[in-house]
Amino acid sequence: MTAGYSRLSGIAGIDESGRGPVIGPLVICGILFEKNMDGDLHSIGVRDSKILTPKKRRDLAAQVVKIADKIEFEVISAEVIDRLRTKGISLNDIEVDGFVAVLKRLRPSEVYVDAADVDARRFGDNLAQKSGLGKEGCLLISEHKADSRYQIVSAASILAKEERERRLSLMHEEFGDFGSGYPNDPKTIAYIQSLLKADEAFPIVVRRTWKSIERIREGLLGTQTALDEY
């Protein structure tokens, strides 16, 4: 055992919500059970958060919180994402560091993660190395679509999504209704367009380094050019 740290214990799942949006934070959630709880999670209906209705997801989140032994969040704001990206740090590396932060706090003996890299094995190797848990004997399983294959990762995906939604609700109150923050959401597009048209500075919740911003800007310019020509 490493000096100053508790021994590895329990089974964990880690997933994220908010990798792709142009507005809002990236939320990483890790959940730990001291024993295998797949049967319990299955019995209450835990599934990948992306296929659940908002109400069902909220209900399941409340139930998962009651039975989890430990839950950890790492929330990376749009402002931090932009700052790191301008320093040349990729989104993949930002996510690795976020997952590592959660792993270090959970210290599981076994963990399943939804890989946030095109190379799932590389993602897992990076987590094991940077967290130091690989040397301590932690079994780390990194797979794509782990949130649809493992109940414990599904549970983490539900909590990550709910935490992001909670934070978005607060942001809507302060910055206006920008929708989901995803670049294909009409509300989000309209929100960015309104800022561009008014030549207003983007609020700190907008990821200024996202290519989606330029695509929306180019779309506006194209529309204006067409109107001018007409």
Residue 3 in any domain: the answer is no
**What pLDDT is attached to residue 189?**
95
**What pLDDT is attached to residue 3?**
47
Residue 211 in any domain: the answer is yes
Residue where a domain terminates, one of 172, 195, 218 = 172
Residue 4 in any domain: the answer is no
- 73 and 22 in a common domain: yes
Residue where a domain terminates, one of 148, 172, 196 = 172
**What pLDDT is attached to residue 222?**
61
- 163 and 76 in a common domain: yes
Domain containing residue 186: CATH number: 1.10.10.460
**What pLDDT is attached to residue 57?**
94
What range defines the domain where residue 160 resides? 11-172
**Residue ranges of the chain with per-residue pLDDT less than 70:** 1-5, 221-230
- 128 and 20 in a common domain: yes
Report the domain count for the chain.
2
DSSP string, the chain: --TTSPPP-SEEEEEEE-SS-SBS-EEEEEEEESS--HHHHHHTT---GGGS-HHHHHHHHHHHHHH-SEEEEEEE-HHHHHHHHHTT--HHHHHHHHHHHHHHHH--SEEEEE--SSSHHHHHHHHHHHHSTTTTT-EEEEETTHHHH-HHHHHHHHHHHHHHHHHHHHHHHHH---TT--TT-HHHHHHHHHHHHTTPPPPTTB-TT-HHHHHHHHHHHHHHHHHHH-
**What pLDDT is attached to residue 5?**
63
Residue 1 in any domain: the answer is no
Domain containing residue 55: CATH number: 3.30.420.10
**What pLDDT is attached to residue 226?**
36
Residue 5 in any domain: the answer is no
- 143 and 191 in a common domain: no
